[in-house]
Amino acid sequence: MIKDSAASGDVSSRLADLRERFATRAAEDLQELERRAQVMREQGFDQAVMEDVCARLHRLAGSAGTFGFPELGEAARSLEKMLKAQAASGQGPVVSTLAVEKILALRTMLESPPMPVAEDEAMAETTERLEGSHGLRVAVRIVPARNTDYEWLAGALAAYGFDCRVMAGTDAEIIQTLATETGVATVILCADGRIAGIMEQLDASVQEPVRRMPLVCLSEDVSFDSRYQMAALGADGFFGRSPDLPELAERIEYLALERSSRVQGRVVLVEDDPELAEHYFLVLRSAGIDVCWVRDPMRLMSELSSFRPDILLMDVQLGPYSGVTLARMVRFDPQWLSLPIIYLSSEDNRDNQLEALSRGADEFLTKPVSDGYLVRAVRIRCFRARQLFRLMNRDSLTGLLKHSLIKLEAEKELARCRRDGHPASVVMVDLDHFKEINDTYGHRYGDMVIKALANTLRNRLRETDMIGRYGGEEFLVVLPHCDTEAARRLFTDIADAFSQLTFNGNNESFGVTLSAGVAAINNYVTGDDAVDAADQALYQRKRAGRNGVTVFGDDERNSGPTV
Ligand SMILES: Nc1nc2c(ncn2[C@@H]2O[C@H](COP(=O)(O)OP(=O)(O)OP(=O)(O)O)[C@@H](O)[C@H]2O)c(=O)[nH]1
């Protein structure tokens, strides 16, 4: 398994080193091929030698293109096919003079200078670290129709934790402004009448992230014709002029995440060609994707269990092992039934591909794969895998972990504390007088408040913190490496920030406060005990006047209101 992170080294120079290593190895391979072919021509057919020749050609076909020798890769592929066809024809395969000549021609192809490997857009994109938020920092930019006031929408969406602004100016001016905003994932909400113009400007942009900015249409006309027209113009979502806010917020988050270069993932790569594996490793790592390289298929199951990937990328021929059989074997284990398995192979015959797919994998990426294509293909598949996982394990209103999973996280953190001796806290959070919000403004606005709290927590907490929706308006947070004093300070800030949010319902503004109870996980025998303690601290906080934070075991002096 390659452990080093590509981010720490100079990726381009390491890729150049790999190209050189490939060229040296390929020259040796070609010499061997030539020697074996000469032997067969002179001494007759030998099954073992033929298999070795085909395996070497197959390896060249799959890797040469990646290292800047596409012509060599293509020629090796067609020679491998020719020899295999001869072997399959049962005419007593003979390695002909023609085959030897073709092998000699491969050597000249290797001697010509490699094609410069284009810096792909997807590779060139930096994996910008957006400020320490739990999720993405999402900017919503509203492009209004003339004489339409969308300030109310900007205000309402701000309560969901988005950075919202109504844009003024021409289409070109707006897109120019958006192009200068970095460090955020932007989603455009656009009035139907302006979509054509805005789309034109997006398409014309020289910046890839701008061209890929998602756009949601806001339209008065919700007829089939209108929806069809907006879809044809390229809109990614469609809502009426007064959209259902939780639904719109959900769509904005989905689109921002889907398009973001920050969509990362975890990939197990099974590849027996070391240069190729290292190349893929570097390319994927430099795009922010975690990779675990498995060279020996015997280690595959144990690496899957410890690394827990989003997807499995696997070569189809791995020395004596078949990737197709390995895929079937992976599916023996019920926990990997839904793991997307993608073959990375130089097999380009559609029938053979389909046959291989029918035995347990989901898709083929045909080698050679360009670096940018590999990154995009892996990113989108990791995203889909995570979405599926999310659907199964996340609460639909908030996107946070479901009750049973967050409890499990508390248990796991306790085990980690025991092993490493670090402190950790668990926090129970509950909205104050929430029943009144529902009773006064209706359930829909109640949902909006719940969602705003979920966003506030996501935006304020570290990525390593775990957040779950414990019950209706109750949230449970697990904070690794955080003692109760630090947790108190953190949640005091969060409570203050949340109390300052303004919501709008029934034509009036209102605010909501929260209470939190904190307990030290490492003080308890089970995670459940720690959660109970945080719950008791929360109850104390409610009795002491709500709107603030109480640590379990605090005396009244320590638990006064924060604001
Ligand atoms: N809108 C909405 N309301 C919910 C949801 N889940 C639970 N609730 C409501 O949350 C309210 C919780 O009320 P209570 O447990 O009495 O607590 P409270 O009014 O917040 O009072 P304190 O916690 O004592 O400050 C109930 O009215 C539930 O119906 C939900 O998903 N959406």
91-121: pLDDT as tens digits:
545 566 677 777 778 888 887 777 665 544 4
The CA 230 to ligand 1 mean position distance, Å, reads: 39
pLDDT the model gives residue 260? 67
pLDDT at position 65 is 86
Q: Over the stretch 388-444, which tens digit does the pLDDT of each residue have?
A: 777 777 888 888 899 988 999 999 999 999 988 999 999 999 999 999 999 999 998
Helix 434-441 crosses helix 443-460 at what angle (to 10 degrees)?
Answer: 130
Q: Please, what's the b/e burial string for 120-135 (b: 16 or more CB within 10 A of its CB; e: otherwise)?
A: bebbebebeebeebbb
What confidence score (pLDDT) does residue 171 get? Answer: 95
Is 539 near ligand 1, meaning CB less than 6 Å away?
no
- Ligand 1 pocket, 474 CB below 6 A? no
Task: Name every residue whose Cβ is closer than 8 Å to that of residue 15 and which is 6 or more positions away in sequence.
Answer: 117, 279, 282, 283
- Which domains are present in the chain? 6-111 (1.20.120), 138-259 (3.40.50.280), 265-393 (3.40.50.2300), 403-559 (3.30.70.270)
For residues 473 and 450, what is the distance between their CA atoms, to the nearest angstrom? 6
Distances (CA, A) of 90 to 33, 77, 85, 250, 518: 22, 21, 9, 61, 76
User: Is a pLDDT exceeding 60 seen at residue 126?
Assistant: no
Task: Give the whole-angstrom CA distance, residue 509 versus residue 511.
Answer: 7
Which residues are the active-site residues?
473
Instruction: Read off the pLDDT of residues 141-187 as tens digits, 9 standing for 90 and up.
Output: 999 998 788 998 998 888 777 889 999 999 999 999 999 987 788 99
ipTM: 0.92
Residue closest via CA to ligand 1's atom 13 equals 435
Instruction: Decide which of 342 and 42 is more confident.
Output: 342
402 Cα to the center of ligand 1, angstroms: 17
211 CB neighbour count, 10 Å cutoff: 12
The best mutation among 447, 473, 475 to test binding of ligand 1, ranked by most ligand atoms within 8 Å of the C-beta, falls on: 473
Residue 447 CB less than 6 A away from ligand 1? yes
The pLDDT tens digits for 470-482 are 999 999 999 999 9
**Is 162's C-beta closer than 6 angstroms to any atom of ligand 1?**
no
Which residues have C-beta within 8 Å of that of residue 275, sequence separation ≥ 6? 18, 21, 22, 25, 63, 67
Distance 435 CA to ligand 1 centre (A): 5
Q: 211 CB under 6 A from ligand 1?
A: no
Is the distance from the beta carbon of residue 446 to the nearest atom of ligand 1 less than 6 Å?
A: yes
Which atom of ligand 1 approaches the CA of 431 most closely?
20
Alpha-carbon distance of 489 to 482, in angstroms, equals 11
What distance lies between CA 122 and its chain's CA centroid?
Answer: 14
Q: Region 325-349: what's the mean pLDDT?
A: 87
pLDDT for 221 beyond 60: yes
Among 244, 397, 434, 515, name the best residue to mutate to test ligand 1's pocket (greatest count of ligand atoms within 8 A of Cβ): 434
Angle between helices 195-204 and 224-233 (to 10 degrees): 20
pTM: 0.59
